[in-house]
Every structure is written in structure tokens, then in C-alpha cells.
Amino acid sequence: MGMCKPSGGKFDMYGPYRSNIPQIWSEKPNIRIDYYDEITGKLPQQRWFGPDGWAIWDRDWDHKNDHNNHKFPHDHYWDYTKPRGKERQEYGPEINMDYC
């Protein structure tokens, strides 16, 4: 089995629950940010950044689910060919095992 991404390290970030990781670009390429609720310490989201520093993948462990149509955890990929605000696309309920 090969090494999984990120190869540049992992960093923790804390903020309000039900929020997303605020940045889509990182000065440090090939990293993962784990976003924790600042009050409970729960992990609702992780984000991977590619070799150019731009976000490439998200894993949602929990978020608002008004229509009960999400399974957790689930992954999203980033597609920068989409209009602004539509970059993050649903991957589905499966987990991309290349990202850990």
C-alpha cells in the first residue's frame, strides 16, 4: 500500500461549528487541515490542498442536513472550471481512500 496524501503535513484549525474551512488556498502545498469546532472539539471537516496550494478535496464528517440526504462521512472534490461558488462538487457517500 502506498502513502496517502497529504505528504506536506497536517494542521489543525478551530472555529464555529457548522462553518467550513474558510480558505481555499494555502501557502503550504500538499497539506491537510482538520477543522474542529472551537467549543466541543468535534471534527466536522477536513480539507486537502494540492501541490499548487489550492484546495482539492474535502471530507465532511458532519454538517447541517435539512433533507436527510447526506451520509457521513462523505467527500467533495474541487472543480475550478465551475463558476465561482460552484467549485466544490459532490463526490458522494464514498470515501476517497487516497486521502487520509
pTM above 0.85, yes or no: no
Mean pLDDT across 3-32: 83
Asked whether residue 18 is assigned to any structural domain, the reply reads: no
Per the DSSP assignment, residues forming a β-bridge with 92 are: 75
Per the DSSP assignment, residues forming a β-bridge with 10 are: 32
Asked whether residue 2 is assigned to any structural domain, the reply reads: yes
For 20-52, how does the pLDDT look when each residue is reduced to its tens digit (9 = 90+)? 888 888 888 999 999 999 999 999 999 999 999
* Owning domain of residue 94: 1-13+28-100
Asked whether residue 82 is assigned to any structural domain, the reply reads: yes
Give the chain's domain count: 1
For residue 46, the SS3 value is: strand
Asked whether residue 22 is assigned to any structural domain, the reply reads: no
Asked whether residue 99 is assigned to any structural domain, the reply reads: yes
Asked whether residue 41 is assigned to any structural domain, the reply reads: yes
